[in-house]
Homo-oligomer: A and B are copies of this chain.
Amino acid sequence: MKLNTKSRYAVMALADMAVFSRNNAVSLRDISLRQGISLLYLEQIFLKLKKNNIVKSVRGINGGYMLVKTPKELKILDILLALDQKVKTIGCKKDSKKSCNGKSTKCITHNFWDELDIHINSFFESKKLSDLLRNKEVRY
């Protein structure tokens, strides 16, 4: 059960922005240098964040990205959803071929996986970006 690097880097980069933004745009170059994430990869990630209205961009010299919401308002869940990282531990859709073994009724474990998804989702729903910043051993 792993989270992909895109989601992880997205959370990392946004946390970085929350720390370093003082009402000014933060460039991906700076984030890349501070957090050791490939600039090209960050661009890909921030395109999605922008499309999903997590950040807004400022082009040109001294440009960069800014958070749309405050860290206190920004749910981690919203970040993950922006990266297509749905919490769906089992790829089961009723009525589709992807349903468990292609049968029409739900299998014996179905409800359990639903419960699991809800359990994980509620974690991401309850946590805000600001919750990460309290960390005492932060590295800049």
Chain A residues packing against B (C-beta within 8 Å): 1-3, 8, 11-12, 15-16, 19, 35-37, 76, 85-91, 100-103, 105-113, 116, 119-120, 123, 127, 131-133, 135, 137-139
Contact = CB atoms under 8 A, between A and B. Distances in A.
Nearest to A136: B111
A1 B103 contact: no
B90 A108 contact: no
Shortest beta-carbon contacts, A-B, top 6: A36-B101, A105-B139, A3-B89, A15-B108, A119-B123, A12-B109
Contact of A2 (B11, B90, B108, B112): B90
A83 to B, nearest CB: 11
Contacts of A112: 11, 76, 127, 131-132, 135
Contacts of A132: 108-109, 111-112
Contact of A1 (B16, B85, B107, B133): B85
Contacts of A119: 119-120, 123
